[in-house]
Amino acid sequence: MEAITIKDIARALNLSTSTVSRALRDSYEINPETKRLVIEYAERLNYRPNPIALSLKENRSRVIGVIVPQIANNFFSNVINGIEAIAYSRGYYVIIFQSHESYERELATVQQVVDRKADGLLISLSSSTSDVSHLRLLQEKKLPIVLFDRVSSELAIPSVTADNFGGAFAATEHLILTGRRRIAHVTIPPYISITQERLAGYRAALEKYGIAYDEQLVRYASFGESEIGPIIDELLTQSPDAFFAASDRLAIGCLAALKKRNIAIPEAVSLIGFTNTPLADLLAPPMSTVEQPALEIGQTAAGHLIDLIEGKSGQLNSETVRIPTRLILRASS
């Protein structure tokens, strides 16, 4: 793995390193002949500048740190996909970290991002993060940050999320318009922004149609839980006539639980649609979905972050960008 350096070229061509450096960067003050010589030689030996040396010199790493609660999650892996697309096209590398929904690990992980001298940070908060002072600290240190998906209103940091309110509103309205009145809502932990936004959308739709909000119809499931059967059981005592699940995982768990209990399934709507459309079609008879624009969230967030890093940020300061969701209706059978 012995790489060739500017020094090697200089020695071979009997030039100084500075001349070689200039020639390679196509400086105007270099003799065209010398330039040609250097460039040819460099190409022949497949010279590649050492990015680590550059980082040290320029005090920047061209690396973006990304922290997600979990990688092995359809939504987040698609977001990462979007982030990478933009990052690589603009000359940045991406280092991915997971907080595993733990506040402590989020802290440690943020520290790693700082230690590694990332030029910027993209983060989606863990579900157990309520104190956000670690991010405020970074902000004060002028590290460019963009929040995505799980954001925080306590932070004046630019954010990118799906239009959770709108998606939840559309989903709930759809259920109401098809005649349901007792719509159960199975959702994710309460202390994260998206849960609140979805709940608000759900409530707003109920209100619009004069349906009273019933606390008994709402249940929160932690991310850890694998079995949501008990939660469905609780909800069933409230005789709901439809389910609105806040995630794929919950929608699937919900359908599975109902099926296991041989209960005729009302219509279920899942927020956060499947990227995997054939799968959603397969489960369709009782289920419509709200598609979440994971890719676009990633692209937008990465774009903003790089703008911030490069000082090209218009005045997008702590604004929250909301990417529209799409309701995909599937006929009931």
Partner DNA sequence: TTGTAAGCGTTATCAG
Partner DNA sequence: CTGATAACGCTTACAA
Residues making contact with DNA (CB under 7 A): 3, 5-7, 14-19, 21-25, 29-35, 48-50, 53-54, 56-57, 59
Rounded to whole angstroms, how far apart are CA atoms 57 and 74? 39
DSSP 301-330: HHHHHHHHHTT---S-TT-EEEE--EEE--
Dihedral angle of Cα 23, 28, 29, 32, to the nearest 10 degrees: 60
Residue with smaller CB distance to DNA, 39 or 265:
39
Q: Pick from a second copy, DNA, none: which does 312 bind, CB < 5 to 8 A by kind?
A: none
Helix, strand, coil percentages in the chain from 3-state DSSP, rounded to 5: 45, 15, 40
- Count of CB atoms within 10 A of residue 37's CB? 16
Q: Kindly identify the residues of this chain, within the stretch 56-95, that bind a second copy according to CB under 8 A.
A: 56, 61, 70-74, 77-78, 80-81, 84, 93-95
269 near 243, Cβ under 8 Å?
yes
Q: Pick from a second copy, DNA, none: which does 21 bind, CB < 5 to 8 A by kind?
A: DNA
Rounded to whole angstroms, how far apart are CA atoms 159 and 155? 10
Residue with smaller CB distance to a second copy, 109 or 172:
109
Q: How far is the CB of 48 from DNA (least distance, A)?
A: 7
Residue with smaller CB distance to a second copy, 39 or 95:
95
* Straight-line distance from the first to the last Cα atom of the chain, in angstroms, rounded to the nearest whole number: 62
Q: Kindly identify the residues of this chain, within the stretch 3-22, that bind a second copy according to CB under 8 A.
A: 3
Q: How far is the CB of 165 from a second copy (least distance, A)?
A: 26
DSSP 147-171: EESS--TTS-S-EEEE-HHHHHHHH
Task: Count interface residues toward a second copy (CB under 8 A).
Answer: 50
Q: Pick from DNA, a second copy, none: which does 232 bind, CB < 5 to 8 A by kind?
A: none
Q: How far is the CB of 47 from DNA (least distance, A)?
A: 7
Q: Residues 5, 17, 34, 112: which binds a second copy (CB under 8 A)?
A: 112
Angle at 202 between CA 228 and CA 286, to 5 degrees: 55
Residue with smaller CB distance to DNA, 20 or 328:
20
Q: Pick from a second copy, DNA, none: which does 32 bind, CB < 5 to 8 A by kind?
A: DNA
Sorted by sequence, the CB contacts under 8 Å of residue 331 that are 6+ apart come out as 284, 285
Q: Kindly identify the residues of this chain, within the stretch 233-292, that bind a second copy according to CB under 8 A.
A: 249, 252-253, 255-256, 259-260, 275-279, 281-283
Residue type, 268: A
Q: Pick from a second copy, DNA, none: which does 94 bind, CB < 5 to 8 A by kind?
A: a second copy
Q: Residues 16, 18, 45, 51: which binds a second copy (CB under 8 A)?
A: 51
Place of tokens 């699937």: 252
Q: Residues 135, 143, 206, 218: which binds a second copy (CB under 8 A)?
A: 143
Q: Pick from a second copy, DNA, none: which does 226 bind, CB < 5 to 8 A by kind?
A: a second copy
Q: Kindly identify the residues of this chain, within the stretch 198-237, that bind a second copy according to CB under 8 A.
A: 226
> Among 257, 176, 185, 251, which Cα is nearest to 215's?
185
Strands 287-291 and 326-328: antiparallel
Q: Pick from a second copy, DNA, none: which does 73 bind, CB < 5 to 8 A by kind?
A: a second copy
Rounded to whole angstroms, how far apart are CA atoms 288 and 180? 14
Query: What is the binding site for a second copy (CB under 8 A)?
Result: 1-3, 48, 50-53, 55-56, 61, 70-74, 77-78, 80-81, 84, 93-96, 98, 112, 114-117, 141-143, 226, 249, 252-253, 255-256, 259-260, 275-279, 281-283
